């Protein structure tokens, strides 16, 4: 194959743009530093010894390429595909590899010091002996990766997935692993005493040194899932106990002519039907965070009569709710309905919509929640809520609206398979800490001259058979920006990666509770706010809509008043 020169490549960039087709080309030894080659196809190309320092290589296809001894220092390789690429001896120090695909790639012994690896996919990768000193790997996927003897000194793995990874003999001096998934991870001889393991998750398969106490270091043991049958049997037992404790009637009681059916315990077949629903959805997570973090997720603006609305779009989810990776309360309840309607023990399943007030400061908004109301063939009933916001199958829910029309339910589910509107608070995830559940919600408001992105955290008391769910006063953090300044803000956040808010805290607007735990949880999940902004597709305002700011209806209360609209933040003068 013909070898190209730098000059020829520059001429092609001028003529064709940056997304060149260079598949299979021999570019070995070339100096391509500082070139803009984003979107180009280098699949199968020979890039041995090439100098790509400071080059722009976003969304490039490097699958099967030979990058041995290549200089990729400070190159922007965000979302690049390295599938089956060879990187022996390559220099990746200070490289930007945000959300890049390096799954099962051999990176052993390479220099990735100070690399930006936020959201990178390195599942099954070989990083034995690699240098990740001070690297940023927030929410990175390192499942089953080999990091044995790697230098992880001062690296940031916050909320990263290191499940089943090999970290034996790794240097973990001041390594930040807060919220990381360490299920099944081998951490023997890894100097865990010097790492920050606060809120990291481990299980019985995680291997530590015998003298190391993960709980004392702040790690949290993963809890096993509970089965619905256990809760059902407990509740049945309570019914019988309460019945036995009732006062005895007179010896000759007067018969009471009443059509009311006596309370009967559900039959075992009903328990099996409920267990089948729980088992079908047992591995499904709750909240839209995983879908927001998907590489293909985008936030678009939809124009509806008189208003512009932000919509989170993501790859189409399966027709079977049980096959989703994560769900909201509607999809969870819809999935319960689908499973139970296939059981001969079930006569009818309706979905009930509830609203709960959630206040921040002096203003409150309603949060919607959906559960399933089940009527069995024997006319016994159950309320099924499989979300973390309910302690068991029989929460004390009082619906404000019942959804019974199959066509309406199917239409909502079909729409939810590809996206969800963000003009109202939507669930992102839940966090359990110190026996307290916290609810994270997100919202995006589009007005004629500004955008407002917000992330809220609320303590929650889950519903149980005796008391309804309660969303307690919380805290919010967000960014409000003029539309004509949004492009500059988005560029700044993309360039700085997930640490952008650490470097530019003045961009953030805070409101509500100053509880330290709430603030810490919010700070740990600022990456969600980052994704809301960086995946937002800006467009000029619709001139036919003079003002598009939705009005928030406060929850009726004599004490709650709306907070005055905050002034949009201006970009910092210095953004280096």
pLDDT digits over 207-262, tens only?
A: 999 999 998 888 888 755 444 444 444 444 444 444 445 444 444 444 444 343 33
Write down the pTM of the prediction. 0.56
- The pLDDT-based confidence of 362 (bands split at 50, 70, 90) is confident
Percent of the chain past pLDDT 90, that is, above it, reads 58
237: CB partners within 8 A, 6+ apart: none
The two three-digit tokens of residue 219, written as one number = 């790690």
Please state, rounded to an integer, the average pLDDT across all residues of the chain: 85
Residue pLDDT, tens place only, 445-475: 999 899 999 999 999 999 887 788 899 999 9
- Of 175, 169, 237, 177, nearest to 202 (Cα)? 177
Residue pLDDT, tens place only, 433-448: 888 999 999 999 999 8
Residue pLDDT, tens place only, 49-108: 999 999 999 999 999 999 999 999 999 999 999 999 999 999 999 999 988 999 999 999
- The pLDDT-based confidence of 429 (bands split at 50, 70, 90) is very high
pLDDT at residue 223 in the model: 58
Q: Is the pLDDT of residue 419 over 90?
A: yes
Look-up of token digits 């058979």? 465
3-state secondary structure of 550: coil
84: left (phi over 0), alpha (psi -120 to 50) or beta: left
Q: Is the pLDDT of residue 275 over 70?
A: yes
| 3-class DSSP string for 198-256 | CCCEECCCCECCCCCCCCCCCCEECCCCCCHHHHHHHHHHHHHHHHHCCCCCCCCCCCC
pLDDT at residue 279 in the model: 86
Secondary structure element (H or E) that encloses residue 146, with its range: none
Q: Beta strand 401-403 with 346-360: parallel, antiparallel or unpaired?
A: antiparallel
pLDDT at residue 199 in the model: 84
- Average pLDDT on 157-170 reads 93
- Average pLDDT on 484-506 reads 89
């Amino acid at each position: 194959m013909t070898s190209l020169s730098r000059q020829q490549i520059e001429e092609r960039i001028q003529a064709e743009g940056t997304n060149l087709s260079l598949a299979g080309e021999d570019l070995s030894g070339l100096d391509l530093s500082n070139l803009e080659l984003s979107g180009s196809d280098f699949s199968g190309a020979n890039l041995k010894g090439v100098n790509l320092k400071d080059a722009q290589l976003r969304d490039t296809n490097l699958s099967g390429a030979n990058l041995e001894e290549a200089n990729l220092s400070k190159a922007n390789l965000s979302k690049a595909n390295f599938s089956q690429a060879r990187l022996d001896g390559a220099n990746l120090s200070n490289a930007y590899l945000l959300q890049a695909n390096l799954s099962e790639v051999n990176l052993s012994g390479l220099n990735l010091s100070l690399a930006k690896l936020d959201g990178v996919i390195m599942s099954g990768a070989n990083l034995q002996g690699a240098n990740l000193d001070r690297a940023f790997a927030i929410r990175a996927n390192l499942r089953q990766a080999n990091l044995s003897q790697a230098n992880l000194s001062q690296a940031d793995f916050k909320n990263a997935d290191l499940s089943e990874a090999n970290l034996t003999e790794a240097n973990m001096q001041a390594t930040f692993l807060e919220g990381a998934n360490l299920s099944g991870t081998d951490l023997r001889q890894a100097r865990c005493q010097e790492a920050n393991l606060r809120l990291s998750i481990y299980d019985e398969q995680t291997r530590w040194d015998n003298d190391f106490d993960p709980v004392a270091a702040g790690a949290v043991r993963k809890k096993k899932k509970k089965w619905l049958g256990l809760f059902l049997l407990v509740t049945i037992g309570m019914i019988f106990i309460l019945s036995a404790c009732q006062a005895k009637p007179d010896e000759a009681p007067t018969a009471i002519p009443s059509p009311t059916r006596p309370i009967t315990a559900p039959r075992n077949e009903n328990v099996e039907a409920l267990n089948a629903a729980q088992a079908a959805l047992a591995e499904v997570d709750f909240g839209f965070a995983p879908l927001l973090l998907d590489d293909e997720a985008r936030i678009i603006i939809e124009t509806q009569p008189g208003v512009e609305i932000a919509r989170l779009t993501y790859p189409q989810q399966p027709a079977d709710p049980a096959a989703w990776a994560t769900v909201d309360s509607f999809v969870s309840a819809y999935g319960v309905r689908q499973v139970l309607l296939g059981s001969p023990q079930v006569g009818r399943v309706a979905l009930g919509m509830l609203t709960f007030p959630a206040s921040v400061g002096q203003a409150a908004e309603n949060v919607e929640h959906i559960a399933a109301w089940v009527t069995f063939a024997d006319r016994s009933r159950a309320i099924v809520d499989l979300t973390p916001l309910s302690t068991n199958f029989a929460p004390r829910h009082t619906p404000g609206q019942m959804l019974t029309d199959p066509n309406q339910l199917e239409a909502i589910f079909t729409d939810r398979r590809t996206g969800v509107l963000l003009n109202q608070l939507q669930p992102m995830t839940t966090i359990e800490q110190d026996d307290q559940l916290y609810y994270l919600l997100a919202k995006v408001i589009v007005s004629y001259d500004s955008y407002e992105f917000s992330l809220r955290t609320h303590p929650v008391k889950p519903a149980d058979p005796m008391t309804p769910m309660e969303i307690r006063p919380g805290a919010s953090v967000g960014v409000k920006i003029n539309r004509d300044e949004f492009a500059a803000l988005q560029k700044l956040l993309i360039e700085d990666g997930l640490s952008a808010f650490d470097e530019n805290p003045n961009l953030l607007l805070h409101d509500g509770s100053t509880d330290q735990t709430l603030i810490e949880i919010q700070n740990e999940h600022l990456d969600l706010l980052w994704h809301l902004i960086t995946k937002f597709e800006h467009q000029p305002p619709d001139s036919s809509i003079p003002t598009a700011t939705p009005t928030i209806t406060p929850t009726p209360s004599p004490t709650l008043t709306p907070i005055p609209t905050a002034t949009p933040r201006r970009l910092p003068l210095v953004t280096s």
